[in-house]
Structure 1
Amino acid sequence: MKWTPTAIALALSAPADALLRFPCAQLVIDRLDPLVTPGTAPSPHLHQILGGNSFNVTMNIEKDMPKESTCTSCQFSEDFSNYWTATLYFKAKNGTYKRVGQKPNVGFDGVNGGMTVYYMQDGLYNFAQTSKVTAFKPGFRMFVGDVNARTPEQIERFRQLTFTCLQDMNTRDPQTLDFPTKPCPAGIMTAVRFPTCWDGVNLDSPDHMAHMAYPEYGTFESGGPCPASHPVRMPQLFYEVIWDTKPFNDKSLWPDDGSQPFVWSFGDGTGYANHGDYLFGWQGDALQRAMDSPCYQNCPTLKTQNAAAMNKCTVPRVVREDIDGWVRELPGGHQANYRK
């Protein structure tokens, strides 16, 4: 799981000016996590998973995922990566829980739930995208967040994981680190921004985070430099997930004490434990080719597929349990918990 300095130098010499923004439909909702708990079925909590249909309980790093997959639930048909997050639940006054569905972002009508994925050279609102970045390599994987965080202090190092209370589908600010405290007219959007600086050697690390870092100061968007320990600038991988909380916006359904009723599938009721997982699986040099080409959303160097094809790519659930009805406990036996 090493990458040579010569290969790094060659990759960094390429020009770049692309911003990829695309939808991925739901591949499966299941209690599997081949990154954090490989080989374990069921995993401790429920996830919503997108991407290539080679997704399985182990995801052996030695295998070539693009060759294992026969379809992808993402718009770019050369992208067999897997992207996943925890799922969101509503807790009713009687203590039962109901899973919150997802809906597509603006411009992606017809896509079955899922989320929006970005790969960027520069900040989201910089359409020039002129910085040079090195695409992720086969076998690369990473995680961001802290599933045990329940206080502002514990989430301080993960300030790139946010919530937006959508007034309409175009709302993007303000962003908070905890769950919104009032009903959101168009739903709740979670944002997961992964670190962008690589150590240049390891495709993974024991905690799936140490091989990556955020800029030494500033942010990716402000052009902050990578630290000397992690000198290779990679694309900003960024998820936007829109949770359809509108069916639960009747304030009479909310707790009498005025607290907010949403919890992550592992029980976190603060929102501070927001997190995301990524397994790279682009075919050949497709991602680097896109990063080196001028394109936004629709990239001429990549093959695309329509919403029907994205929606058609699914895999059967491995763990059979009720994920659609009202339940007395969250999958895995979790109950809502709040600040420590």
Structure 2
Amino acid sequence: MMMFGRPGEAMVHDFFGNVHADAFSTADTLLAKPQTTCTSKSDGSSYWAPQMRHANTGEIIKPFMMKTYYRNETTDYPVVPFPKGLQLLVGDHHSTQAKRGVLYFCKNNADGGSYYTDVPASCPLFDGEKAQFNLSFEFPNCWDGVNFKPVVGGGHHSRRNATYDVNGVCPANYPIKIPQLQLNIGYYLPGNGDLSDLQLSMNPQMARGVGLPMWGNLYTAHADFFNAWRTDAMDFAVKFCLNRGVPCDKEIPAVHAEAIENAQVIGGEFADTNYAGAKQMVTQTNNTHQPKIGYMKFRLPDDDTLLNAPYDDVVLRFWGKNTGGHKNHMAYIYAVQPNWNEKTLTYNNAPACGGKYVARTWIGYSDQAVYRSSDSVMEVVKDALAKGQKEVAFCVISEDVETSLGTREGGSPGMLFFK
């Protein structure tokens, strides 16, 4: 980040994420080759922190894991997606004391551990054999809207491109609120949890083009982030996870298509009634007097969007809950022709919903509304694309238990998830 195009002049780092990252990486090169050690194939970003060693022996301590959370602590103040190529830094590799955004963690037992602002003297052998010590970094989450990388140097030229919010609000000179990264790097210390001889790599002293390795104390801990998320994936995470307070875990698609139309139909005395614009749909087919069915229609992504998208499967994902009592049940999904209009759809003119289902979704007995993923609908999508179709549609039914489904109008549309 700070020594672009100068390999060998920076400290030695442990890298995570994009396996092609180097001193010459740009946002375009990371996005062009997004292969990653991280869970999401849509994340071509690079993450790194200085290498750790035992000072007494010179032994390098390799991390056993890196885990990063993306957060927005208060949805009252929404975030916007990272701009392409944004680079962020937390910590200070010249520090001799505690710094904001840097914490030290010791695992105490199988159930958890403790965080410290100052470096603890040691970590316990939590399993009787080894200690676990983590470096934990909380990145700044307010961007200045101008600089894509920090400007770090001496005197009046020293300036970060991001800072921290205050109670969810960004300061005037850093007005753009972005997702906050909380990055954790874990190290095992077999047989001895003493931290007093641990050191972190620092910039080498250069002499005639040769670098002499330098090492600093644990207060020099810092971490870097170079954003190379696919735009569609980060847009989804911001809109449907971070700004709604919904824990999406690892369910981030490479590409997603929101429902362009949705409507429920009800039989019996309501068979000619149209329910377009409803905030939710309800399904239940074993109600012989008033069977209820939900319909969703999607516009397929174009060929250019899908060409380089790193996905292996397609599922239907919808906001749903059990509204008919605490009883485990399934929702069944059927492919139907998309030649219907939500503004005129009724039970009497809707495409028939039945035959062989293409996917199922477990609803369970909980009445909590959450996004749920179906079995694969990849074959339906592949068949439609092969035929040159621009749209696909599905109907959703549940048998003897009433199920509520989200809608576009209610802010919780069904989606096709390319993941």
TM-score, length of structure 2 as denominator length: 0.51
Q: Counterpart amino acid of 1:166? A: K
The yes-or-no answer on 1:191 pairing with 2:136 is yes
Unaligned runs of 5+ in 2: 126-130, 153-157, 203-213, 241-245, 256-309, 313-419
Task: Label 1:264 to 1:301 Cα distance change in 2 as closer, same or farther (>3 A).
Answer: same
Is 1:103–1:243's contact at 8 Å kept on the other side of the alignment?
yes
- Percent identical residues: 22
2:36 — aligned with what? 72
Indicate the structure with greater strand content: 2
1:211 — aligned with what? 161
Is 1:134–1:233's contact at 8 Å kept on the other side of the alignment?
yes
Distance in 2 between residues matched to 1:214 and 1:264, nearest whole Å: 25
The yes-or-no answer on 1:228 pairing with 2:183 is no
The yes-or-no answer on 1:44 pairing with 2:10 is yes
Is 2:107–2:123's contact at 8 Å kept on the other side of the alignment?
no
1:136 to 76, 82, 86: 82
User: Cα offset for 1:141?
Assistant: 0.8
The yes-or-no answer on 1:277 pairing with 2:224 is yes
Is 1:177–1:271's contact at 8 Å kept on the other side of the alignment?
no
Please give the residue correspondences for 1:139-154 in structure 2 after superposition, counting only pairs within 5 Å: 139-150=85-96, 152=97
User: Cα offset for 1:268?
Assistant: 5.0
Measured against aligned partners, the alpha-carbon deviations of 1:266-316 in whole angstroms (never above 9, x if no partner) come to: 35553211101111001122112112113431225358999xxxxxxxxxx
2:31 aligned counterpart, secondary structure: helix
Is 2:137–2:182's contact at 8 Å kept on the other side of the alignment?
yes
2:183 aligned counterpart, secondary structure: strand
Distance in 1 between residues matched to 2:117 and 2:177, nearest whole Å: 27
Please give the residue correspondences for 1:39-188 in structure 2 after superposition, counting only pairs within 5 Å: 39-60=5-26, 63-67=28-32, 69-92=33-56, 96-104=57-65, 115-122=66-73, 131-150=77-96, 152=97, 155=98, 158-168=99-109, 170-178=111-119, 180-185=120-125, 186-188=131-133
Unaligned runs of 5+ in 1: 1-34, 105-114, 124-128, 218-222, 307-340
Please give the residue correspondences for 1:259-278 in structure 2 after superposition, counting only pairs within 5 Å: 260-266=196-202, 268-278=215-225
Is 1:261–1:269's contact at 8 Å kept on the other side of the alignment?
no
Distance in 2 between residues matched to 1:269 and 1:70, nearest whole Å: 32
CA RMSD of aligned residues (A): 2.6
Task: Label 1:234 to 1:240 Cα distance change in 2 as closer, same or farther (>3 A).
Answer: same
The yes-or-no answer on 1:241 pairing with 2:241 is no
Distance in 2 between residues matched to 1:299 and 1:175, nearest whole Å: 31
TM-score, length of structure 1 as denominator length: 0.62
Q: Which runs of structure 1 show a deviation greater than 6 angstroms over 4 or more consecutive aligned residues? A: 303-306
1:287 to 219, 229, 234: 234
2:366 — aligned with what? none
Q: Counterpart amino acid of 2:250? A: N
Measured against aligned partners, the alpha-carbon deviations of 1:173-209 in whole angstroms (never above 9, x if no partner) come to: 241232x212432311111111011112332242296
